[in-house]
Each structure stands twice: as structure tokens, then as C-alpha cells.
Structure 1
């Protein structure tokens, strides 16, 4: 039980690590006198570092066990948080975000694998509802909390909060995380990932999962600039808009285990696909009519929230079982692929952004269309549900 609680705390840290300081973006622009692209780079550098380190973590986690790699990652994350807290110049903040990205990859990749080492696939799917509920709760409410922390303690306050969460995770990890499975004959070479990319089934699992969550992360990354910078929303009001999406994510996530068990995986999956299709239609209407009302845009995002949770909770545990003795590597590829796609999409949209919802909405719709194609290919190959 304590190991599960420890993983839960680490998942909350992983979920909030990116989103907590995002409401500080407008303040960071003023304090460091930087452009939208440069402030978004504090997010992009973090995600890219997280991405590439995840691939190393996947190999080392299979080779040496989960616990030591998680703990080393948390120590690096804490060091990065200290750099951010005491940053005086922009490059110091950027370096701190780089270290945070490197460090967070340990718990981000391997915390789920700790659960996969311990429980059956069916039990994992039930626990995924709680874990993903906690992650999405942290992801969704982090900007809300970050808004009020920024309001009262300014931008450094958010990094102090991350530092405290990192220290708590480190102590719990030392006390309660088990060593986990090891594979002594695992090579330290990146060629170990060849087996993951060689499997079409695993490839489509990874693609579907990554593309499912990508639109939400893209929106979260651009929301402060859109809402506060161009739609006239105050920092105080921004918390309420993010809170609405947070509430929807939390309700669906925490109830997903019960709903999947009661209504069946297939019915929940079909419901999710219908919600994502509704989101695409709604988004295209907003773009066509050039809607600038933040309330309507937030309502549109609720359909995206409804559509993401069930497929991820169903497919993620199945993806880890798609290749024998490769859970760490599969988890690493999922984390790395998701993060590099997030970083690329956010930097691309921020570069082309001109103060409207259109480039954000069009990119989200395009991503979901590609996801539908990958999901179709996955079902043709393996019929996972």
C-alpha cells in the first residue's frame, strides 16, 4: 500500500512539474524581458531534456532496477528546482528547467513500471484510473494552483512548491519503493530499443497513446498566453477556467476504473471516440466563426477531456505487455515520444501564434485525426479490446 501511495505522490509531481509554473509566463516575460518564443522555451527545453533522458532511464531501469534510477532522477530534479528558485538571469532559469527535465524522467518513466511489476494487467487498469486521475488532477489543477501562487508569491513561489514536492517524493522513494525486476543481460546501448520499434503492434500502441494526450498538453502550454495575453482574462479568473477542465478530468479519471468495469472496455472506448469527434467539430466551428469568448473555448475543451481518459487507461497497461521483458523500454519510448511531440508542437504553434485560438485549434484537430488513423491500424493488427 505504501509503495502505491509513493507512486501516487510521484505521479502528482510528474503531472504538476510542467503545468504549475505556466501561469507565471506573462510575469516571466516582463521580469526577464523576453519574447513569447523565449518564455515557451523554458517549457520546450524541459520537455526535450525529459524526452532524451527517458530513453536512458528505460534501459537503466531494466538493467539496475527501478528504485536507484528513480532516486537519482529525483536528486537531479531537486537540484534543478534550486537553480530555478534562486535564478537571477534568464539562462539560470533555463538551466534549472533543463535539470528538472532530466531528473523528472526517472519517476515519470518508471513509477508506472513499478506498478506493472507488482500487479496483473486487469488490476493495473483499475489502478491506472487512480494514477491517471491523480496525474490529470495535478496537470489540470497545477495551473489553477500556480495562478494563485503567482498572484501572492510571484513566479518563484511555484518553483519552491515543486522543490517541496520533490523532497517529499525522494524521502518516500527511499523508504518504500522496491528494487523491481532486472534484466542483467540488457545492453546499455540504444540498440536495445530496436525491439520496440520493430514491433508494429507496439508502435501503434505508442503512437495512439501519445497522440491522445498531445492536444491537451498543447492547449495547457498555450492557454496562459491565449487567455491572459489576448482574451483579456485576469490571472485570478484564469484559475477558474483551468479549474473547469480540471474538474472534468478528475471526475472521469477517478471514476474510469468503475465505469470500465461496469460498462466494459469497448463501450467506454466508443464513448471516448465520439467525444473526440464532437470536440473536433466544435473546435472547427469556433475557428470558422472566430470565437474569442474564453467561456465557450473552455466548454469545447471539456469534450477533449471526456475523450482522452478511457483510451489511455485501457491501452497503456496493454502496451507494456506487448513485448516480453521490455516494460521499462516501452514506458521510456512512450514518455520520450510524448514529450518530444509536445515540445515540437508547442514551439511550432508559439512561433506562428498571432493572438487567436485558430492555430491552437487547427493543430489539436490535426493531431486527433492522425491519432484516429493509428488507432485504426492498431485494431486491425491486434484487436486489443
Structure 2
């Protein structure tokens, strides 16, 4: 039963990023009017969030290798909750876009955990099965998020959508509490935090990694286009 619970939590954490990015998209025209700004300025909120998600994964991945999965996950979730509340209370577009950057950074920790925890616990076919389940959720979420956002945008407005995202963050944080640490102290990175970046360089030289990453990137690019 614990394994089933863990898979459910991992699926929810995996869907975190797409929901953070996409759920408010149908409310963009309303936000343009509310903030009395241009469409491109509102769209910057999308860009800032994606930058936060990308940079956050590069930072939180090595940190979780060094200090454990759960402490880093807790920090990122609390950062997400604070940033989302900041989004809800924003009175101008610049403040909102900065909050979106922080929101992306916070959401990145959830994505890191959903990828790293299974590799701590499983291997072989079992790991492939878990990654496939998490990947399936991650594939559905970018499509479902704008649909859900569009359904509620007219009822509760753009701030309401962010209050829903805030509630999702609080619920997921509560669900994470019973989850056990997956990376024991003896398995953690003992060297400097910066040594992890040497690992990034080595991985990028692996031909299959570059090919698979390119294919994945093109697939996500088509979705966003």
C-alpha cells in the first residue's frame, strides 16, 4: 500500500510543473485588462516560470543528492506556496512576473523529486514501470491544465486560479509528510556541491543522452507551439 501511495504522490509531483505553467493561460486576456498592460508583458509570466523551472532543476538536483530528497522538497514546496500567494496578491505586472519566477523555482523541486526518488528505490523493469507511470501523468497534465483553467476562469477570475494552485501546493505538501526519505546519508554526495556540474558535462557527452534529450525537447516544443 505504501508503494501505491508513493506512486500517487510521485504522479502528483510530476504534474506540478505543467499545472504551474499552463493552468492560468485562459485568463491571460483578463490579466491584460486588469494590469492595464500589453499581451507580451503578461506572456512574460509564462517565460519567467519556465526559466524558474529549468534553473531550479539544475540547482535542486545536486542539492538533493547532497542533503537528501525530503529537505530539498520541503524547501521547494514552501517556496512555491509563498510565491503563489505572492502571485495572488500582485498589484502590477512586474511584481507578478517576479513571483512567477519564484513559483517556477519552487515547482522545480517537485519535478526533481518525482524523477530522483524512483531511482533511489527501484531498478530494472520495476524502475522503468514507475518512470512510465510518472511520464504518462506528465504527458496528460499539460493538456489538462489549460482545460481546467479555462473551465474556472470565468467563474473565479485569474486570482482564483492562483488560489487553486496555492491550495494544490498545500495539499501536496501535506501528502508528502508521510513519505519516507529515499536517499540514505551514506549514499549522498560527499563532495562539493559544484562537483555535480562536472557530472552534467560528462552526461552531455554521452551520445544516446543527447539524442533522447533532443527528441524529448522537440516533443515538448511541438506541444508548446
TM-score (norm 2): 0.89
Contact kept in structure 1, 2:22 and 2:142, CA below 8 Å: yes
How far residue 177 of structure 1 moved from its aligned partner, in angstroms, is 4.1
Contact kept in structure 2, 1:186 and 1:192, CA below 8 Å: no
How far residue 186 of structure 1 moved from its aligned partner, in angstroms, is 3.8
How far residue 134 of structure 1 moved from its aligned partner, in angstroms, is 2.1
Contact kept in structure 1, 2:41 and 2:93, CA below 8 Å: no
- Counterpart of 1:191 (choices 182, 192, 198) is 198
Q: Tell me which moved more, 115-124 or 37-46.
A: 115-124
Query: 2: distance between equivalents of 1:48 and 1:184?
Result: 26
Q: CA, structure 1 residues 62+109, in 2 after alignment: closer, same or farther (shift >3 Å)?
A: same
How far residue 87 of structure 1 moved from its aligned partner, in angstroms, is 1.2
In structure 2, what is the equivalent of residue 363 of structure 1?
A: none
Contact kept in structure 2, 1:77 and 1:103, CA below 8 Å: yes
Matched, 1:110 2:113: yes
Query: 2: distance between equivalents of 1:78 and 1:128?
Result: 26
- Cα deviations across residues 115-163 of structure 1 (Å, max 9, x unaligned)? 1221223223323343223223322111111012111000011101111
Contact kept in structure 2, 1:68 and 1:179, CA below 8 Å: no
Q: CA, structure 1 residues 178+123, in 2 after alignment: closer, same or farther (shift >3 Å)?
A: same
In structure 2, what is the equivalent of residue 27 of structure 1?
A: 30
Contact kept in structure 1, 2:42 and 2:93, CA below 8 Å: no
Matched, 1:46 2:49: yes
Matched, 1:214 2:214: no
In structure 2, what is the equivalent of residue 319 of structure 1?
A: none
Equivalent residues in 2 for 1:50-65, closer than 5 Å: 50-65=53-68
Query: 1: distance between equivalents of 2:190 and 2:205?
Result: 20
Contact kept in structure 2, 1:3 and 1:177, CA below 8 Å: no
Give the total of aligned pairs.
218
Contact kept in structure 2, 1:22 and 1:143, CA below 8 Å: yes
**Unaligned stretches of 5+ residues in structure 1:** 220-385
In structure 2, what is the equivalent of residue 17 of structure 1?
A: 20
In structure 1, what is the equivalent of residue 9 of structure 2?
A: 6
- Counterpart of 1:167 (choices 170, 173, 183) is 170
Query: 2: distance between equivalents of 1:112 and 1:30?
Result: 39
Query: 1: distance between equivalents of 2:54 and 2:165?
Result: 19
Determine which structure has greater relative contact order: mean sequence separation of CA pairs < 8 Å that are 6+ residues apart, divided by chain length: 2
Question: SS at the partner of 1:49?
Answer: helix
Query: 2: distance between equivalents of 1:127 and 1:188?
Result: 28
Contact kept in structure 2, 1:21 and 1:143, CA below 8 Å: yes
- Counterpart of 1:136 (choices 135, 139, 149) is 139
Q: CA, structure 1 residues 168+86, in 2 after alignment: closer, same or farther (shift >3 Å)?
A: same
Query: 2: distance between equivalents of 1:91 and 1:177?
Result: 39
Q: CA, structure 1 residues 177+149, in 2 after alignment: closer, same or farther (shift >3 Å)?
A: farther
Question: SS at the partner of 1:146?
Answer: helix
Query: 2: distance between equivalents of 1:105 and 1:165?
Result: 15
Cα RMSD for the two superposed structures:
1.7
Equivalent residues in 2 for 1:195-274, closer than 5 Å: 195-216=202-223, 218-219=224-225
Q: CA, structure 1 residues 195+185, in 2 after alignment: closer, same or farther (shift >3 Å)?
A: farther
Query: 1: distance between equivalents of 2:130 and 2:189?
Result: 29
Contact kept in structure 2, 1:19 and 1:139, CA below 8 Å: yes
How far residue 194 of structure 1 moved from its aligned partner, in angstroms, is 2.0
Mark the structure with the bigger radius of gyration: 1
Matched, 1:96 2:96: no
Contact kept in structure 2, 1:66 and 1:110, CA below 8 Å: yes
